[in-house]
Amino acid sequence: MSHGLLWLPLLAVFIVLAWLGWVEYRKLEHYRQWAQQFEASKYDITAVLGQQGDRLTWGQPTRQGIVNLQTCNLADIRSVWVEGGGQRLETEATPAKEPLHLVLQTCQGECYRISFTELPLALAWRDRLAGKIKGEFA
């Protein structure tokens, strides 16, 4: 009986890990379906991002699907930069502080912040957008 009680917490941990894996699988499946409509897209645990022509769309992945979708036209963007811990980041050698964001500033002064978990990926998206908009890059 005591051996069974010792294995019970291990069984509970296994069940929780299996459930968390299922949740992440559902998020990825929703992302795959959503990303088919875009030329380029990215997924990480904090946000999804897709680009189709001059349109940029982003949102938050959940097991029910992509929520909090926002869209902007690249013609409305004046400048773009990567920000970490409230400071602009220029290269991968720059020490990155959490949270990381790709910041898009519109001609009207609005700022959109798209979350990233990896600095190289955020810098690659900044560079990708560099040729698509007329404005400044930091």
Q: List the pLDDT tens digit at each of the 138 positions of the chain.
A: 677 677 888 889 999 999 999 999 999 999 999 989 999 899 988 899 999 988 999 999 988 888 999 999 888 888 888 888 777 777 776 666 778 888 888 888 888 999 998 888 888 888 888 777 765 554
8 lies in some domain: no
92 lies in some domain: yes
Overall number of domains in the chain? 1
22 lies in some domain: no
**Which structural domain, as residue segments, surrounds residue 35?**
28-137
Give the pLDDT of residue 54: 87
49 lies in some domain: yes
Q: Residue 76: which CATH number? A: 2.30.29.30
62 lies in some domain: yes
- Short-list 78, 3, 80, CA closest to 11: 3
6 lies in some domain: no
3 lies in some domain: no
Give the pLDDT of residue 86: 77
- Percent helix, strand, coil in the chain (nearest 5)? 35, 40, 25
23 lies in some domain: no
b (16+ CB within 10 A) / e for 26-64: ebeebbeebbeebeebbbbeebbbbbeeeebbbbbbeee
